[in-house]
């Protein structure tokens, strides 16, 4: 046997042992009805051709490995950013287990959420009783200050009315009549996680602001970060910049502490988050700024309706994007951008200049949420790179038009292609037919890296197979410096691997790069 008490193997080398290789080969032969190896090889090679690419990109009725998640995931993440708020998903337990595990695997932290435990009978007769019992249990067991209700596709298909269900639950005493239970309808079969985030944040604001009038404007800025897997690092970096400017601000939906709790002997089911009192007071803010336009379209419309000035950005990463954000903050608040921040900008520009010979002309494929892809394409063009393929499964026609306008504004974007609504199987065809130097995305890109040999840089949610990336900022000048360093490390690591064979390729295995 390959294992014994004296020789315990990790799973990676264990399954390479002869006994396991034979077992797996027999299993494949006896139970998988495999095609001959040559047929499999021929089909694999076909998928690398332009002929297959044309058929692949023409797909309409099938999605293979979409670079997005469903609406309720965004709603659960949004709820985690408010003070002592429990996310309550009206649907089945299995759905909620997916949202919790997705967040926990990325942040390496517990992700608390409950469901109304809908099953077949609720799908037929409606889920009112599940809502009544579920809200009562949540209120008694978890002691929240607020319960944020969202839905799964089961509840949406049968048409459960959340507003009336919550009112009925309060009438039956599940929670006190004045207890805060904002809600958002988040059907999982349309849109994506960014729409669920948008719906829940709007639902929270509408719950507290509806029926109230703006009184004396406070001069405070509301900042909505959007769905961001790097919220731990990004939110703290943005707060640091705003504090340096002396700006008074309120982060609407701040999950930075919730997903970065310390190990000090105390379990925190709730930690940090935007205080309920601050959400109420945010109605009187000078303006509301969204860091991700396509994450907050409905929310900003509502802020406009209540009389607030609004502005939105595309994930302020890099020099120009951070410039625009800080100058807008300065214009609204009347606060000057201090010399400390100007120095940080100069250091980022200097670092980009120091490394320009390694970055200039590099070709990139980028995928992720619309605002992230926009920001990353903009940043790589600042470094002299070419964003050859820009793909967002949840990208809209408006996003596609904005992307094309951005790419047309710089010489490095002239040959770039924008792919709205396409998936990662389409990206595979693009990488085979028009290869690039680097792929930027999330952990799901590792299969593209394996198939095409394109080095993957993990810079967006979800990152399951690497640890603690989310604790560091990508936004701002300091975040841009980290992204720059991450890209360069990947370039140098690849070069070292390709030049490490003694006497053959090691003429370029240099100590200094």
157 catalytic? Reply is: yes
The answer to whether 71-209 and 343-498 have equal CATH topology is: yes
Whether the predicted pLDDT of 250 surpasses 90: yes
Tokens of 347: 């250091």
Contact 241, 330 (CB under 8 A): no
Domain boundaries, the chain: 71-209, 221-342, 343-498
Note the pLDDT tens digit of each residue in 341-367. 999 999 999 999 999 999 999 999 999
Alpha helix ranges (H) inside 218-318: 231-245, 276-281, 297-305
Looking at the DSSP bridge assignments, the partners of residue 317 are 476
Catalytic residue chosen out of the listed positions 40, 64, 157, 190? 157
- DSSP label at residue 334: -
Is residue 507 predicted with pLDDT exceeding 90? Answer: no
C-alpha to C-alpha distance for 333 and 328, rounded to whole angstroms: 8
Q: Taking the CA atoms of 142, 235, 274 and 192 in sequence, report the sign of the dihedral they define.
A: negative
Per the structure block, which two tokens stand in for 191?
């849109």
Q: What is the pLDDT of residue 1?
A: 60
Predicted pLDDT at 158: 84
The 10s digit of each residue's pLDDT in 381-402 is 999 999 999 999 999 999 999 9
Task: Annotate 142-185 with DSSP letters as a single string.
Answer: H--SEEEEEE-HHHHHTT--HHHHHHHHHHTTSS-TTSB--B--
Residue 422: strand, helix, or coil: coil
Mean pLDDT over 312-327 rounds to 98
The length of the chain in residues reads 513
**Alpha carbon distance 170, 325 (integer Å):** 43
- Token pair for 227: 């769905």
How far CA 370 is from CA of 51, 386, 427, 473, in Å, comes to 28, 18, 15, 19
Q: Kindly tell me if the per-residue pLDDT of 185 is higher than 70.
A: yes
Burial class (CB in 10 A: 0-12, 13-18, 19+), 298: middle
Confidence (pLDDT) at 173: 97
* Virtual torsion, Cα 166, 169, 170, 173, nearest 10 deg: -160
pLDDT at 331: 98
Domain 221-342 has CATH 3.40.50.1980: yes
Please give the order of strands across the beta sheet that includes 249-251: 249-251, 221-224, 287-290, 309-312
Q: Give percent of the chain above pLDDT 90.
A: 89
Asked whether 115 and 271 are in contact (CB, 8 A), the reply is: no
Cβ neighbour number for residue 350 with a 10 Å cutoff: 11
What would the pLDDT profile of 109-157 be if each residue is shown by its tens digit? 999 999 999 988 888 888 999 999 999 999 999 999 999 999 998 888 8
In the predicted model, what is the mean pLDDT of residues 76-100? 97
pLDDT tier at 106 (50, 70, 90 boundaries)? very high
- For the 71-209 domain, the top CATH level (class) is alpha beta
Name which of 314, 344, 360, 319 is nearest 487 in CA terms.
360
Mean pLDDT of the chain: 96
Task: Give Cα 191 distance to the centre of its chain.
Answer: 14
CATH classification number, 343-498, choose in 3.90.1150.10, 2.60.40.1120, 3.40.50.10310, 3.40.50.1980: 3.40.50.1980
pLDDT at 42: 96
Q: What residues does 115 pair with on adjacent strands?
A: 89
Q: How far is residue 479's CA from residue 470's CA, in Å, rounded to a whole number?
A: 11
Mean pLDDT of 474-489: 98
Q: How far apart are the first and last CA of the chain?
A: 47
Query: Cα(4)–Cα(48) distance, rounded to whole angstroms?
Result: 44
- The residue annotated as part of the active site, out of 76, 96, 149, 153, is 153
Q: Give me the helices (H) in 246-296, please.
A: 276-281
Q: What is the average per-residue pLDDT within 65-88?
A: 98
CB atoms closer than 10 angstroms to residue 259: 24
Poorest-pLDDT segment among 8-12, 218-222, 265-269: 8-12
Could you tell me which of 463, 483, 464, 488 has the C-alpha nearest to residue 472? 483
Q: What is the pLDDT of residue 451?
A: 98
Dihedral sign for Cα atoms in the order 261, 263, 268, 269:
positive
pLDDT above 70: percentage of residues in the chain:
100
Question: Can you give the pLDDT at residue 493?
Answer: 96
33 is an active site residue: no
- Please report the pLDDT score of residue 424 as a whole number: 99
Q: ω into residue 462 within 30 of 0, thus cis? A: yes
Cα–Cα distance for residue pair 463/68, rounded to 1 Å:
13
pTM for the complete prediction? 0.96
pLDDT value for 126: 87
pLDDT for residue 3: 76
Contact predicate 228/371, CB 8 Å: no
Instruction: Please tell me the predicted confidence (pLDDT) of residue 414.
Output: 96
Q: What's the number of CA atoms in the CB half-sphere (13 Å) around residue 315?
A: 27
């Amino acid at each position: 046997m390959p294992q014994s008490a004296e020789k315990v193997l990790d799973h990676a080398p264990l399954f390479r042992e002869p006994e396991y290789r034979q077992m797996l080969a027999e299993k494949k032969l006896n139970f998988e009805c495999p095609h001959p190896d040559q047929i499999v090889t021929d089909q694999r090679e076909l998928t690398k051709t332009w002929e297959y690419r044309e058929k692949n990109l023409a797909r309409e009725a099938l999605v293979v490995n979409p670079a997005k998640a469903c609406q309720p995931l965004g709603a659960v993440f949004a709820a985690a950013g408010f003070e002592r708020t429990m996310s309550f998903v009206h649907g089945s337990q299995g759905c909620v287990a997916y949202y919790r595990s997705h967040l926990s695997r990325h942040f390496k932290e517990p992700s608390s959420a409950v469901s109304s435990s809908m099953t077949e009978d609720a799908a037929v007769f409606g889920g009112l009783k599940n809502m009544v019992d579920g809200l009562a249990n949540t209120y008694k067991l978890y002691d929240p200050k607020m319960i944020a209700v969202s839905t799964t596709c089961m509840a949406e298909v049968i048409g459960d009315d959340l507003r009336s269900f919550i009112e009925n639950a309060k009438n039956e005493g599940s929670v006190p009549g004045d207890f805060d239970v904002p809600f958002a309808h988040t059907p999982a079969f349309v849109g994506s996680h960014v729409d669920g985030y948008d719906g829940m944040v709007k639902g929270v604001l509408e719950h507290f602001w509806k029926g109230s009038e703006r009184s004396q404007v406070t001069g405070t800025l509301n900042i909505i970060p959007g769905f961001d897997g790097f919220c731990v690092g990004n939110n703290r970096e943005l707060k640091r910049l705003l504090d340096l400017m002396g700006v008074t601000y309120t982060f609407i939906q701040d999950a930075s502490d919730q997903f970065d709790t310390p190990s000090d002997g105390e379990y925190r089911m709730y930690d940090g988050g935007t205080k309920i009192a601050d959400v109420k007071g945010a109605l009187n803010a000078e303006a509301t700024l969204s860091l991700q336009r396509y994450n907050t379209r409905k929310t900003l419309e509502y802020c406009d309706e209540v009389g607030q000035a609004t502005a939105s950005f595309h994930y302020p990463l890099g020099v120009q994007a951070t410039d625009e954000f800080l100058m807008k903050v300065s214009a609204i608040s009347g606060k000057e951008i201090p010399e400390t921040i100007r120095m940080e900008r100069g250091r980022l520009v200097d670092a980009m200049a120091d490394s320009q010979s390694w970055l200039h002309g590099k070709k990139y494929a980028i995928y992720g949420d619309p605002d992230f892809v926009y920001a990353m394409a903009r940043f790589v063009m600042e470094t002299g790179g070419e964003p050859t393929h820009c793909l967002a499964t949840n990208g809209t026609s408006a996003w596609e038009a904005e992307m094309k306008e951005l790419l047309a504004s710089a010489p490095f974007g002239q040959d770039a292609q924008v792919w709205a609504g396409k998936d990662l199987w389409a990206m595979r065809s693009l990488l085979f037919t028009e290869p690039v130097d680097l792929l930027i995305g999330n952990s799901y890109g590792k299969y593209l890296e394996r198939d095409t040999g394109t080095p993957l840089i993990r810079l967006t949610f979800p990152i399951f197979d690497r640890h603690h990336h989310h604790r560091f900022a990508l936004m701002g000048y300091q975040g841009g410096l980290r992204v720059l360093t991450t890209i360069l490390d990947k370039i140098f690591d690849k070069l070292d691997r390709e030049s490490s064979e003694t006497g053959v390729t090691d003429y370029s295995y240099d100590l200094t790069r």
